[in-house]
Structure 1
């Protein structure tokens, strides 16, 4: 234990001689030693003075050490105090660990063994406390940041709405110079400016507690131009008047109707739900299309294109609302007219999903035609410049020869479960290439959760290693925390099985999950790759630096090497070196390039060594 570390240790034993022996062994350490000769006294001392560690005899009269430990672990106040059991029999070990003990020593206790165990668990406790403090600080900063972001977002939304409203108000003032009233001269309905005012009021009321919702019905006459061109503008004006009369007849008194200009009309109304709103829209459309227009003994039957838009908080202004309504109505019109189109927020998601689905056959074809390429990015050791290590990356070649980066096709492959095929392609072609181009470099390969979950995954890799005689230690598989969480038991078996073949494993994107450190215990990991979100601003952000320091310390205590991703400048590199990070990866040292090119550099490096 370092000289600057102070700690309080409670020794519990019903035999005074044993307490004297423990005190003698620990007298050289800078600690404060408390003693208790029974389980009951141990609980009393613990409540008044919170020790950093307890050395607990198991078998004592009255309350046993096991029961004392259970009571300590049941209380949030004392649950994290490490308890090392002292026992005269190995038979008590299983029960002591089940009660919550972190370690045990068999009596008679040896001085060196006691001091070593005490030092080890005090250091672990210090690291855990340091991490808890860092997490607490980070939570405080996050809460403050979130509050500021929310406040600023509200300000920006309000500012944006006020700005749009000001623009709308100025435009209305200019229009009033031309229009002497708020009504359309031909139809005697409200005009566009008046409707915009009503829509503005409706937008202000969005979010208020009410069982009704507001809807905008936008109507476009499909054959208006035909009547205007064949019968003249007078006939067109008469048709507009008759349409206005029909709308007044089929709408409720509280509905707001307006002629928006040309052959376009709009109705603002309320309804309890979208289903009733659609039913009302159909009724309006039917009434308009059943209306026959007669001019000079010639009859005209017309259809209308209709858009229905629910007014919700995704719409930030009147102009935004009208833009949506006009585009949605145009969508009805280009389908041949006489259609009802309903706008809702899910349409954009559906369109995005459809766009992604179109890429599925393209990705499948690229895999079948071997139009994937292996690229690599060097991983630099901060302790051994001669070490050759890189991460394998994949690119997809389009039919015109251009390359797609992973971000352009990997998310689609993951969503539509093509990622397993890509993983197998990468593994197969990498092993083939290594068999033809022997090198002493080692390579990291990303594996998806879909691949790991397959029962055949281990056998597939094992067969490749055997077929292409890949040396032990040449391949390291990177597993993200997300894929590990998805099926932790399968991941544990996968890692343990392939470890026996000489393959190594890295836990990628470390630090982004809520249980990152828990998986260090469950998985036999050789490396952790600190997520780039903590590395990019490490030279500017003290919180990021503290997080990296904590991760590096915990990993070091478990004998796990640390890789920092997204290292972009020399300042960050220097800080990471001081912290004790083992490897760095990023544009600061190397930009990804085709695998053969990087291996040529490795070969030249070896020749010049």
Structure 2
């Protein structure tokens, strides 16, 4: 029983005892008063009647008539005259039933007024003894009426007191509710702080819990900062700040094999003409400044372009992966323009022949070796064009082009016409034997032949056309339909553009309210870049979904680790770590240390950690030893 209920129970008990005691005292006092009045009346009436009879002739008829007249007018229970020898001379008694009050009330509160007695004289002789008792039904009627009025006042007083008490209890327990809400939030892995209440007892509790939350946040932030430093040390080039070769190649592999982005993208390779000559000409310090400046320009060229990543492949060779730009011509021109305006003017006067750049397109599932072979050919052609030149291999790797209106028609019909499907992939536990849940991945039937497009092929255009909300809602309906006919749990993805859509959140909430038994088996996950792009909206959505019984997670986690301290406010159920940290984990001791620390800090606040992009089941024992709770990827399917 809650503390508030116990408080109300105590208040109600005290009020009941107080009112009950007051009513008992009042009723007994009234009964005593009425009983005294009856007794006084009995004595007075007996004396008066005896005096009147003493003055009359003692004719039996006259005496009886006098007694009858008194009895009929005075509301008596009985009047009796007894001779000195004990003979009853006259007697009149009431033979009716009690009126004006319930019989049980009379039995519960009896009145015992003594009858009145007086002597009747006949001259100097005693004629007899007169005994009479007034009827007590009128006293009972008065007592019953008074009791009902008192009870009514007590009830009215209780209602008024209850109303005032309700307001008072709400005011008094508001700080208590805040403390309870904070405790519940901590149980849900959301570490919030509250204002300290004015009540001394609750203030100390709130202060202690706030201090605990502050310490947890501080520990989480410090550990996150340490891990972020380790991540940068392991996966970034020390001079340029760009991705290291292994980290860049891992991203490239994910773009070629995964489904997060379009099925076609671009790869831009930049090669410095003579890095050794630059070192000799400029000196190591100035040459490093040139490389750092180049890294800054390449890094900033990816701002606002999901998935675009720059890395240092070796020495003076750099790569820029552009998974959201299917046209290599567009990707190359954008990067070349940035270099020409922000980097080249600062160094071309010293080193006129600085670089060559080649750009190629790629298609999903293309081997990495073939892609780099084509990129090397593009670089060779760029070198033949002269200093600071670029060459674009248009090839046949561009994505299939569709006009925007054709996409709009296709996507609209897909939602309404049942052309959206879910493909299911298992997420297994650390041993690889048990399934944690199924991941429902969206597919679009593109044409009559039944060709399927993955989410990366059409969701960017859906976002451009503001159609992600109906698509995501349809995905949730498909997942619920599947859950109704199968066992296990299903995780579905929500688009980054959808989570800030207030109308979508209302429709999603209404849909889940209609299937409360499915909520516990339904998991929702959002890409990391979408979470931090609309953090407040995601936080509100996550809290709403968790109140309905759903679980919430972040997918492709780890690219914005510096903001990971915000996770302490979300109450997440799980995170899925980006494949770039997981691929080749057996040969990367630095990433092993980073992931072990990530799992420890996530487990400290009750978050499950799942590895994405696992290439082989042989990696599962190592991942389990690092602390991963589950895994999924091409090696699991």
With the length of structure 2 as denominator, give the TM-score of the two structures.
Answer: 0.43
- Find the structure with the greater CA-based Rg: 2
Q: TM-score, normalised by structure 1?
A: 0.44
